[in-house]
């Protein structure tokens, strides 16, 4: 399922791009990472296994996986001075605002991984970025709740390490629940890449000028934050909580259909999927597993979500507009059950998507035809006219 069209370099730099990384069939609801179906990767793989696949194009052997995991673990710490950045933020700053600032600041620390023409430095920047995202995200969370930062533990795998940095405290032992850690891995896999979505296109466009890779990822985080994109997981849970009970669903369905009402069903609809987002099915299953594991199997918000989905999927408006649940519809309920506050939901999305952003950035930089991105426009402004002195204007 690839397009064997001849390659026009000029085409890349203006409108769209060619990529070997992720394939989406929006009508069929198909998502493949390097040809592997998302449900197979989510069910069987670990996040770093999928990360290796997205970065290098093939599933790793055991030796390759162990080496990659060790290289990532080795770089999970951040420069000790970076912790001073946090004290400049208000405690109640949105963690995505903190992530934009602190991730961008990595470009001020790592000068040996910014000559992107050098493959070694590109690889170094890639490993460092994937390794440090969870650490910075956990620091942003700890700072927001006034708890001390917890250092990474190299004996823990990627997701277990992240949960430990978020939820451990120095004064008592903390044991990562393997069910929750596996669920975290699966959630990261689901969010890892998604072709040329808005934030990935932002990273590619910023990177096409040769900008520092850490600064490009910071630009991607800024774009992902929007409620129409990665911010929808936070907005979807807020919406479900506002609906509150099943009997209020018709009122919100009516509002979503009312053209004069700006209300949208958060977690529904998609620029590409005109069928069920394959990630949403897996997220719903993970949601049930996590809620059971934490003893909230009867979570009333999940009941509202399931009934809302059922009603919407049988409503002519949503059927005609081809609106289905997307990845964000069930993720908020799941992440809250994992112990995260709503403002951290998009941060978790950013941790996972960093692997996709880096894979797409590398593919773009390593493309021999690559030139600076320069989208063109359809000019609809005034035709040429002459200047009129201010005292002659009416």
Taking Cα atoms as reference points, which of 347, 357, 354, 355 lies closest to residue 165? 347
Which is nearer to ligand SDX, 113 or 301 (by Cβ)?
301
- Give backbone dihedrals phi and psi of 349, rounded to 5 degrees, phi first: -60, -45
In the 8-state DSSP scheme, what is residue 270?
-
| Least distance between ligand SDX and beta carbon 44 (Å) | 21
Pairing of strands 30-33, 36-37: antiparallel
Q: Given the rule CB under 6 A, which of 96-104, 122-130, 167-175, 228-236 is the region that contacts ligand SDX?
A: 228-236
- Residues that bind ligand SDX (rule: CB under 6 A) add up to a total of 21
Alpha carbon distance 268, 249 (integer Å): 14
| Least distance between ligand SDX and beta carbon 140 (Å) | 21
Angstrom CA distances, 315 to 191, 268, 277, 323, 362, stand at 28, 13, 18, 10, 43
| Least distance between ligand SDX and beta carbon 270 (Å) | 5
| Least distance between ligand SDX and beta carbon 200 (Å) | 7
| Least distance between ligand SDX and beta carbon 47 (Å) | 15
194 lines the binding site for ligand SDX (CB under 6 A): yes
Which is nearer to ligand SDX, 168 or 206 (by Cβ)?
206
Alpha carbon distance 4, 16 (integer Å): 16
Instruction: Map the footprint of ligand SDX across residues 262-321, applying CB under 6 A.
Output: 264-272, 321
Is 112 annotated in the active site?
Answer: no
Closest chain position to ligand SDX (CB): 269
Q: Provide the token pair at 146.
A: 């006034």
Alpha carbon distance 103, 140 (integer Å): 11
* CA 199 centroid distance within chain: 8
Which position among 19, 151, 211, 229 is part of the footprint of ligand SDX (CB under 6 A)? 229
| Least distance between ligand SDX and beta carbon 265 (Å) | 4
Alpha carbon distance 76, 132 (integer Å): 5
* CA 17 centroid distance within chain: 20
Q: Given the rule CB under 6 A, which of 10-18, 73-81, 95-103, 322-330 is the region that contacts ligand SDX?
A: 322-330
Which is nearer to ligand SDX, 323 or 335 (by Cβ)?
323
Catalytic residue among 94, 270, 277, 299: 270
Which is nearer to ligand SDX, 161 or 201 (by Cβ)?
201
Is 270 annotated in the active site?
Answer: yes
Catalytic residue among 157, 185, 277, 328: 328
326 lines the binding site for ligand SDX (CB under 6 A): yes
Which is nearer to ligand SDX, 137 or 256 (by Cβ)?
256
Long-range contacts of 169-177 (CB under 8 A, 24+ apart): 177/293
Q: Are 124 and 113 in contact (CB under 8 A)?
A: yes
Alpha carbon distance 178, 337 (integer Å): 15
Residues acting as catalytic residues = 270, 328
What residue ranges bind ligand SDX (CB under 6 A)? 194, 197, 228-230, 232, 256, 264-272, 321, 323, 326-328
């Amino acid at each position: 399922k690839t397009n064997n069209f001849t390659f026009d370099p000029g085409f890349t730099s203006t409108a769209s791009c060619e990529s070997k990384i992720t394939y989406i069939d929006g009508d069929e609801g198909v998502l493949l990472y390097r040809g592997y179906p998302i449900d197979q990767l989510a069910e069987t793989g670990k996040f770093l296994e999928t990360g290796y696949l997205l970065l290098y194009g093939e599933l790793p052997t055991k030796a390759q996986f162990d080496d990659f995991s060790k290289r990532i673990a080795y770089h999970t710490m951040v420069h000790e001075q970076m912790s001073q950045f946090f004290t400049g933020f208000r405690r109640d700053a949105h963690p995505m605002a903190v992530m934009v600032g602190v991730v961008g600041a990595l470009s001020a620390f790592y000068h040996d991984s910014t000559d992107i023409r050098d493959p070694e430095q590109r690889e170094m920047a890639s490993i460092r970025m994937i390794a440090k995202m969870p650490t910075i995200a956990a620091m942003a969370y700890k700072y927001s709740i006034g708890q001390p930062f917890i250092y990474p533990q190299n004996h823990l795998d990627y997701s277990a390490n992240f949960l430990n940095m978020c939820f451990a405290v120095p004064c008592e032992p903390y044991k990562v629940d393997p069910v929750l850690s596996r669920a975290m891995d699966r959630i990261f896999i689901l969010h890892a890449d998604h072709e040329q979505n808005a934030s990935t296109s932002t990273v590619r466009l910023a990177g096409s000028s040769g900008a520092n890779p850490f600064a490009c990822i910071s630009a991607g985080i800024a774009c992902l934050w929007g409620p129409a994109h990665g911010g929808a997981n936070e907005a979807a849970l807020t919406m479900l909580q506002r609906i509150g009970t099943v009997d209020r669903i018709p009122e919100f369905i009516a509002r979503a259909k009312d053209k004069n009402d700006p209300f949208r069903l958060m977690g529904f609809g998609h620029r590409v999927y005109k069928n069920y987002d394959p990630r949403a099915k897996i997220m719903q299953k993970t949601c049930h597993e996590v809620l059971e594991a934490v003893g909230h199997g009867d979570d009333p918000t999940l009941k509202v979500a399931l009934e809302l989905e059922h009603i919407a999927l049988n409503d002519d408006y949503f059927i005609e507009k081809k609106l289905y649940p997307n990845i964000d519809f069930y993720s908020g309920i799941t992440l809250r059950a994992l112990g995260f506050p709503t403002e951290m939901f998009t941060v978790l999305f950013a941790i996972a998507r960093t692997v996709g952003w880096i894979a797409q950035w590398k593919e773009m930089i390593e493309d021999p035809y690559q030139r600076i991105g320069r989208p063109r426009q359809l000019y609809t402004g005034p035709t040429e006219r002459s200047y009129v002195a201010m005292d002659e204007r009416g």
